[in-house]
Amino acid sequence: MSFEDRFAQSLRDTGEDLTPNDLTRLVNGGVTDGRRRRRRRNAAVAGGSAALALVAVGAAVAPSMLGASRTAHTVANPAAGPSMSLTAAARPVSDAARARQMVSTLEGLLPKGGRITDAVGRWSLKVPGGDAAFVAPLASVVYDDGKGASSIEVGLDRYPKGEAPVPTCGSPADVPNDVCHVYRLPGGARLLIDQGYEYPSRGSGTKDWHAVLDLPDGTHVEMDEWNAPAEKGAGVTRATPPLSADQLRAVVTSKAWQPLLAAVPTPKPRK
Amino acid sequence: MRAADEQDYLDFATARAGALYRSASLLTSGDAYLAEDLVQETLGRMYAHWRRVSAADNPAAYAHTVLVRVFLSHRRRRSSAEQPSGALPEGVAAEGDATLRLMLLDALARLGPRDRAVLVLRYWEDRSVEETARTLRTSAGAVRTQSSRALGRLRAVLGDSLPDLARS
């Protein structure tokens, strides 16, 4: 038997002995991770079929600038943050401009006095090898209030009416969190505040505090803040993320997001 | 995700999680926590794009491809101070030859992540050179070179200590 054959056999024997401690926890962790990805419409699929996947989505999204005619939502307890213009764009705005608005809106809503770096804005994702794009607004910054840098992201989403995932706190057995509540707001909106972990199945390590504002028309404002300057692979810089639950709520319920939400096109309903 | 799609996904994830974990454990040379993280991230990516993934020719093979890429991108993000130890993770099945397992995982831990990925794809997942090249986004020639170089390194570490388990 050659070394190669002996190695292959030993590798098989070793691999077959490596079994997960808890298969259910792995699967639940995968679902939780996937839901978070879906929320953010993060299309960074590390796979060859990413292009295929994006083509399918891109084709379904017609570029549509809604805007002025969309009714504003009544949101309870609007942010104590700065007041922003609610005037919707009357003419098409470029994706790059919208991406900048995503960042400037988030920056304007964060507590004053902090240092903001690594600001990245996105309005749409390009389909590799094509010219179609699908809208997946995201603002991402690293915010440091002087007590440790932390990553903060806000994403916007629009679901076909009635198809938006209802924000729910997972079962504490599967998704440990320190605090999780869903609030009903006047006007039918729902607000989830989940003070949990980056790897929920573990219930320790990097914290990921998450807020979802679910509006009756199917739009979502979703926010995550970590107690680390990067989502994964960076050390914890502080005990908890910088914004309190109230501050999270203030950011996601701010009316400053409304012109941007109004510009997110409605996806086709699922068949 | 609709309930029916979610059920399909859960069936898939439950059926594949064990195999993904085994591959992940070999890729991480026995780091059970990192292996779990990689599998969860891989399954999360499958979930996020499930309707399209489930329509692919071979969702299971695709999941393993994603796993390897998640592993390599993870290795790039992590500092070099966090090399896997190759120590036997707690809680893995006590069956089998623990000494062989430790020895092999320790030897794998001495290789670079890409070398390990090539060997896991070729010898654990039985991928062809061409498939391995596609997964790693490299050429077939590069896979052959990397594969024989990695085997050479392992041989230098393991010598004749791997058992001859020829089975008829």
Chain B nearest-CA residue for A38: B48
Handedness of CA A187, B3, A27, A159 (dihedral sign): negative
Chain A, window 32-91: residues with a beta carbon less than 8 angstroms from a chain B beta carbon = 32-38, 42-43, 45-49, 52-53, 56-57
CB contact under 8 A, B124 and A16: no
Say which CATH number the domain at B144 has. Answer: 1.20.140.160
Query: Which residue in A12, A21, A26 has the most chain B C-beta atoms within 10 A of its own C-beta, making it the best mutation to test that interface?
Result: A26
Cα gap A269→A26, rounded to integer Å: 31
Instruction: Record the tokens describing residue B12, joined without a space.
Output: 């898939």
Instruction: Establish how many alpha carbons lie within 13 A of residue A38's alpha carbon, considering only the half-sphere containing its beta carbon.
Output: 22
Predicted ipTM?
0.86
- Domain assignment present for residue B164? The answer is no
Give per-residue pLDDT as tens, B82-137: 444 444 444 444 445 678 888 899 999 999 899 999 999 999 999 999 999 988 88
Within 8 A by CB and 6+ apart from A85, the residues are: A259
Q: For residue B37, what are the domain limits?
A: 3-87+95-158
| Strands A219-226, A190-197: pairing kind | unpaired
Q: Does A4 touch chain B (CB under 8 A)?
A: yes
Residue pLDDT, tens place only, B54-86 = 877 888 998 999 999 889 887 665 543 344 444
- Asked if residue B65 belongs to a domain, the reply is yes
Total of domains in chain B = 1
Amino acid B80 reads S
Integer-rounded Cα Rg, in Å, for chain B is: 17
Interface of B with A in 23-82 (CB under 8 A): 23, 25-26, 30, 32-33, 35-37, 39-50, 52-53, 56, 62, 65-66, 69-70, 73-74, 77-78
Q: Residue A41's closest chain B neighbor by CA? A: B48
What is the rounded distance in angstroms from the CA atom of residue A249 to the CA atom of residue A253? 6
Backbone angles phi, psi at A169, to 5 degrees: -85, 130
Mind listing the pLDDT tens digit for each residue in A150-168?
A: 999 998 988 777 767 777 7
| Residue B163 resides in a domain | no
Structural domain includes residue B40: yes
Domain borders along chain A are 38-262
Q: pLDDT of A68-117, one tens digit each? A: 223 333 333 334 333 333 344 455 788 899 999 999 999 999 999 999 99
Nearest to B47 among A15, A16, A31 (CB): A31
Q: Residue A34 and residue B40: Cα distance in Å, rounded?
A: 9
pTM value > 0.90: no
**Chain A with chain B: Cβ pairs closer than 8 A:** 185
d(CA A261, CA A62): 16
Cβ of residue A8 closer than 8 Å to a chain B Cβ: yes
